[in-house]
Amino acid sequence: MPIVALRDVSKTYPARGRNEKEVRAIQSVDLDIEAGEIYGIIGYSGAGKSTLVRLVNALERATSGSIQVNGTEITTLPERELRKLRLGIGMIFQQFNLFNSKTVWKNIEYPLEVAGVPVAERNARISDLLHFVGLADKAGNYPDQLSGGQKQRVGIARALATSPSILLADEATSALDPETTLEVLALLKRVNEEFGTTIIVITHEMDVIKTIAHKVAVMEQGRVIETGTVFDVFSDPQTPASKRFVSTVVRAVPEADELAVLRAKHPGRIVTLSFADGNVSQAAVFLEFGRKGVGFELIYGGINDVQGRTFGHLTLALTGEDSTIDAALEIVRNSVVVTEVK
Ligand SMILES: Nc1ncnc2c1ncn2[C@@H]1O[C@H](COP(=O)(O)OP(=O)(O)OP(=O)(O)O)[C@@H](O)[C@H]1O
């Protein structure tokens, strides 16, 4: 059973003023997130990502549809029960949302205090968490004395204090530089692996999805337009929006304008070879061209590694007799997908 299941969920915000329209922030969304997954939700600004996570921890009420968290239907729960539910869901934010007037220790202690955890147990837990996030020496510091990456580590420790089964990360690395982003993502991966925490990662950056997510949902204008494993969506995106996101991290097939430039520069026939899942050796393909005496030049593309599995698209300019090229392509077609660009 999924740990989070949305069925036909919609959320409409009422019009803010007389001349404004209501906002249909989420429209008929179905989504299943399994326990133990790192699930990425990607979309441009305004796609509805934040609203979606706020529905999952019931900070917003759905306008219609069903939302089950840990097997409980939360759309009909009274506020008192929702408070209990939220203890089982941790959250981290882009701007960290730490208490600046409290030390690192006190920040992490806060949710434990609210949950009524006895002092001795609290102290042990905070100490463990500080070690886990690598900030044991910063317990007495204030947030202002920390770097962005360290602040987010405190945010993660605080979110984990009550041992939630779900961690929501809303643009948690968007304020960090690339190196610090990788460190924080590595920490989230450890949280997932060591505690089995289900992590829902909201982002507009495909790199974040590529680095840690197992599965991804692509959102556009309040709808989930594509879901799948990260490998499947990266290697074969189905919708224009997914293709645009994927193209930010994967050099794939040249667009029409790029093709015109390539054509002007390179004589010969232009073909794109698509490799999937590392089951084909590029060397074998090139050897075949060599054997047949077909000239080839690599003019676009690359091979990508997504979480240890490879795929890619290589665009080549081929020169030689048409019949020789056709014969070589016939053999190559047995192992890779060949698309001739007309
Ligand atoms: N409290 C609110 N009242 C009215 N409209 C809202 C409210 N919160 C969000 N919206 C609107 O709902 C839509 C979805 O917003 P949401 O913040 O969920 O998108 P997002 O994908 O998270 O974008 P961003 O990354 O910019 O936050 C937007 O059009 C936004 O203006």
Nearest residue (CA) to ligand 1, atom 3 = 13
- The closest residue, in CA terms, to atom 29 on ligand 1 is 46
Residue closest via CA to ligand 1's atom 4 equals 13
Q: Which fold has domain 256-340?
A: Alpha-Beta Plaits (3.30.70)
Residue 116 CB: number of other CB atoms within 10 A? 7
Q: Which residue's alpha carbon is nearest to atom 8 within ligand 1?
A: 51
Q: Where are the domains of the chain?
A: 2-248, 256-340
Nearest ligand 1 atom to alpha carbon 16: 4
Distance 45 CA to ligand 1 centre (A): 8
If pLDDT is split at 50, 70 and 90, which confidence band does 312 have? Answer: confident
Ligand 1, atom 28: nearest CA belongs to which residue?
Answer: 46
Cβ 209 vs Cβ 203: under 8 Å: yes
ipTM of this complex:
0.95
Phi/psi at 283 (5° precision): -55, -40
Mean pLDDT of the chain: 92
Alpha-carbon distance of 334 to 163, in angstroms, equals 51
Calculate how far, in angstroms, residue 8's C-alpha sits from the geometric centre of ligand 1. Answer: 19
pLDDT value of position 197: 97
> Distance, CA 299 to ligand 1 centroid (Å)?
42
Taking residues 252-268, report their average pLDDT. Answer: 85
State the distance from the centre of ligand 1 to the C-alpha of 4, rounded, in angstroms. 21
Is residue 257 pLDDT above 90, yes or no? no
CA dihedral over 112, 185, 203, 2, signed as positive or negative: negative
More confident residue, 89 or 307: 89
Please check the confidence at residue 16 and state whether its pLDDT lies above 90: no
Residue 273 is classified by DSSP as E
Q: What is the pLDDT of residue 135?
A: 96
CB atoms near residue 309 (< 10 Å): 16
Homologous superfamily of domain range 2-248: P-loop containing nucleotide triphosphate hydrolases (3.40.50.300)
Residue 59 phi, psi (nearest 5): -75, -20
Q: For residue 203, give the 3-state DSSP assignment.
A: strand
68-110 confidence digits (pLDDT tens): 999 999 999 998 899 888 889 999 999 999 999 999 999 999 9
User: What pLDDT score was predicted for residue 181?
Assistant: 95
Residue to mutate, 10, 11, 23, ligand 1, most ligand atoms under 8 Å from C-beta: 23
Pick the atom of ligand 1 nearest to 14's CA.
4
CA dist 219 and 29 (Å) reads 10
Nearest-atom index, ligand 1, CA of 170: 22
Which residue, 161, 10, 182, is CA-closest to 92? 161
Does pTM surpass 0.90?
Answer: no
- Atom number in ligand 1 closest to CA 171: 25
CA distances from 226 to 23, 101, 223, 232, 245 (A): 22, 43, 9, 11, 12
CB 61 within 8 A of CB 73: no
If DSSP codes are grouped into helix, strand and coil, which group holds residue 326? helix
Distance 46 CA to ligand 1 centre (A): 5
CA dihedral 250, 253, 257, 259 (to 10 degrees): 130
The pLDDT, as a whole number, for residue 310 is 81
Per-residue pLDDT reduced to its tens digit, 121-172: 999 999 999 999 999 999 999 999 999 999 999 999 999 999 999 999 999 9
CA of 338 to the centre of ligand 1 (A): 42
Residues with CB under 6 A from ligand 1: 13, 23, 25, 43, 45-51
- Determine the atom of ligand 1 nearest the C-alpha atom of 204: 25
C-alpha span between 196 and 132 (Å, rounded): 15
The Å distance, Cα 174 to ligand 1 centre, comes to 17
Contact (Cβ atoms closer than 8 angstroms) between residue 262 and residue 318: no
Q: Closest residue (by CA) to atom 30 of ligand 1? A: 46
The mean per-residue pLDDT over the stretch 291-314 comes to 86
The C-alpha atoms of residue 124 and residue 132 are separated, in whole angstroms, by 12
Determine the residue of 49, 60, 93, 221 to mutate for testing ligand 1's pocket, defined as the one with the most ligand atoms within 8 A of the Cβ atom.
49
H-assigned helices in the chain: 49-56, 79-87, 104-114, 119-132, 148-160, 178-195, 206-212, 230-235, 240-247, 256-265, 282-292, 322-332
Residue nearest to atom 10 of ligand 1 (CA): 25
Q: Which helix (H) or strand (E) holds 93?
A: strand 89-93
CA of 51 to the centre of ligand 1 (A): 6
pLDDT digits (tens, 9 = 90+) for 175-217: 999 999 999 999 999 999 999 999 999 999 999 999 999 999 9
Residue 255: pLDDT band with limits 50, 70, 90? confident
